[in-house]
Structure 1
Amino acid sequence: MKILQVVRRYGPVGGMERYVWETARELVKLGHQVQVICEQNLAEPNSDIAVHELGRMHYRPRWLYYWRFSRRVDAWLKANPQPGWLIHSNERVGVHDVTTFHGPPFASVRDKPWWKKISIRVVAQLWLERRELRVAKRIVPNSEIIAKQLAHYYPEYAHKLTAPIVPGVLPGVTRAPRNVPADGGIVGFVGREWQRKGLPLAVEIIAQLRKTRPNLKLWVVGPEEKEITYLFRDWQGGYRLLGWRTDNAH
């Protein structure tokens, strides 16, 4: 089989990105031909996988960034037709045969108050998401929860859903067991896209827990300190903002 993967960042640099990178390598081991279209190649060279970089783009606003990436993928495929290749996308594009859904659908915004829906951002994100699902012949959720959410918000495309294919986990460094004090402990949050991944909610939850566990701490890895300091304006210690780190085994 000939498979063309579409992803913005290709390489072991994030949860979704590693999912795609590992999938591409395993497909090659199974004897399939694999190509990758990406904005940025962050993987070590692999002579068995042809990687086509489209060039970096401005990341904000995100909906416009997604649209621009989609347009570049369209243009590349028009200039470089790939007859006989199955296109497997992991992004908000509109030229794929199969799409893998890596996170909760944006359509959950429908459950919010009306004043939170009136924006170009919401309209654009919903349009991109619906197009992704409409074009796909098969939709692969990467968890049972995401499968249920997609079926709920997009029942007209539920027949396209496959069984969930969850991310594989490689053996890592084994951590020694630790006893957590009843009045403390450390909660870690890791994620550059801290708003989408729920850091504000995590801060609220830990703040409430600290009322009964006063020595509980929150450590945040990913965002720059200046971006998120305001979330802790009512805190008196109990947190660490570590920025992005690559020097830890865990």
Structure 2
Amino acid sequence: MKIAFLVKRFTRSGGKERYVVELAMALKRQGHSIHVYAYKCDHTLLKEITFHRVPLFFTFSSILNTLSFIKETKKKVPKQEYDIIHSHERNYTQEIITLHSLTYCEGLEKYSFLRKIDQKYFSLRSLLYLWLEKRQMKSPWLISVSQEVSRDVEKYYGRSDNIVIIPPGVNTDQFNPVSTNKLRDQARKENNLNKNELAVLFVGSAFQRKGLERLLPEIKGDTRLFVVGKGDKLVKYKRLIKAYGLEKKVVLTGMVKDVKQYYALADIVVLPSRSEAFGMSILEGMACGLPVIVTKNCGVADLIEHNKNGLIMKEDSDLGNYLHLLRSKKERLRIGIHAGTTAKAYSWKRVGISHEAFYRQILSCKSSV
């Protein structure tokens, strides 16, 4: 098949972007011709993949930038030349769209009553996002990355037909216990971790939504927290760290080129999100044989059997209890082994095969009309 992907950035810099890159490579290995339409790309990723640059406008506004991307790709992508055109951005002009995030409607639910009224009826930005999302949900075919996303779409838009769930994969050649164990001693030494310190890892850039403030007060005793990512409201979190007296216990790394060294030094991976479409850092941690803690409203929680291959928080108070439980090396090893076994079933090859089957289903439906 000749397949076109639409994504603003063809890089490995974020969860959605990594998904598209790995999917493109998996489908390429399966013998398909892959074309990428994007604002920018990492040219080291373009081996046997064709890149088409999309003109970039309205960098000052996320919604106008998105509407511009829709308009420019509609003009630039010749539909008759491709078997499949697959958008990974908010869109309404393509037949196939992957939903990498929860709905805008879901985000509004977290506001106070007055703020919600203001956003739904008086904010031009919100009105445009809601208009765009409503049109997007009418697309013929949708792919969601988790049950959490599918439930969200059905709740707010009543959509349950022609939508399939294909969760992200993990590169087990890169993330696995053998390779991280080789790096562990050096990584812990470089970060001044002593043998008995418990290293907790938090990976993500939306600190507020991903629940960093829930985690900070639970960093006690011989525990260090490594926060990998470029967070929002950074000043607020630095103040919280100081207020809790954690200046020597919390390391804010910012964006890093190689996150693998942090999985190598870690004992536990935690994602206490308020809402999360999936949570790729958890799957990567599981692939490295690490025990993980997530909230019940993370999409990745669908892969976790509580107290077997991970721990699922139902209340904020659970987090401290689970961190205490995982101070036991025996418990970490028990859960980590099961986590690693689970992760092996979620390769990018499997993701590619699932997409290929879905594409063929769509083409079959179109040819029978």
Is the CA contact (8 Å cut-off) linking 1:103 and 1:146 kept in structure 2?
A: yes
Match of 1:109 in 2: 107
Q: CA deviation at 1:92?
A: 0.8
Q: Where does residue 145 of structure 1 map in the other structure?
A: 148
1:8 shift after superposition: 0.8
Alpha-carbon displacement from aligned partner over 1:79-109 (angstroms, at most 9, x marks no partner): xx23152210110122211111112222213
* 1:69 counterpart residue number: 69
Secondary structure of the 1:35 match is strand
Q: 1:242 aligns with which of 237, 249, 253?
A: 253
Retained in 1: the 8 A contact 2:206–2:230? yes
Q: Distance in 2 between matches of 1:120 and 1:11?
A: 31
What is the rounded CA distance, in whole Å, between the counterparts of 2:223 and 2:238 in structure 1? 14
Alignment of 1:35-184 (within 5 A): 35-44=35-44, 46=46, 48-57=48-57, 59-77=59-77, 81-85=78-82, 86-112=84-110, 113-117=112-116, 118=118, 119-134=123-138, 136-155=139-158, 157-162=159-164, 164-171=165-172, 172-174=175-177, 175-176=180-181
User: Which structure carries more helix by proportion?
Assistant: 2
SS at 1:125 equivalent: helix
Residue 289 of structure 2 corresponds to which residue in structure 1?
none
Contact 1:12 1:43 in 2 (8 A): no
**Would the alpha carbon gap of residues 188 and 61 (structure 1) be closer, same or farther in structure 2, given more than 3 Å must change?**
farther
Q: Secondary structure at the match of 1:24?
A: helix
Instruction: Identify if the C-alpha distance between structure 1 residues 61 and 193 changes in structure 2 by more than 3 Å, giving closer, same or farther.
Output: farther
Q: 1:99 to 1:110 in 2, by over 3 A?
A: same
The answer for unaligned runs of 5 or more in structure 2 is 186-195, 262-369
Corresponding letter in the other structure for 1:29: R
Task: Determine helix, strand or coil for the equivalent of 2:254.
Answer: coil
Identical columns (%): 25
2:202 aligned residue (180, 189, 192): 189
* Aligned counterpart in structure 1 of residue 234 of structure 2, from 222, 228, 237: 228
Q: Distance in 2 between matches of 1:188 and 1:126?
A: 35
**Larger RCO (CA under 8 A, 6+ residues apart):** 2
Structure 1's consecutive aligned runs of 4 or more residues displaced over 6 angstroms after TM superposition are: none
- How many Å separate the matches in 2 of 1:35 and 1:121? 31
Change (3 A) 1:95 1:37: same
| Aligned residue pairs, count | 234
TM, length-normalised to structure 1: 0.80
Please tell me whether the aligned partners of residues 204 and 231 of structure 2 are also in contact (alpha carbons under 8 angstroms).
Answer: no
How far off its partner does 1:215 sit?
A: 4.8
Which residue type is aligned with residue 237 of structure 2? L
Q: What secondary structure sits across from 1:122 in the alignment?
A: helix
Alpha-carbon distance between aligned partners in 2 of 1:207 and 1:83, rounded to the nearest angstrom: 53
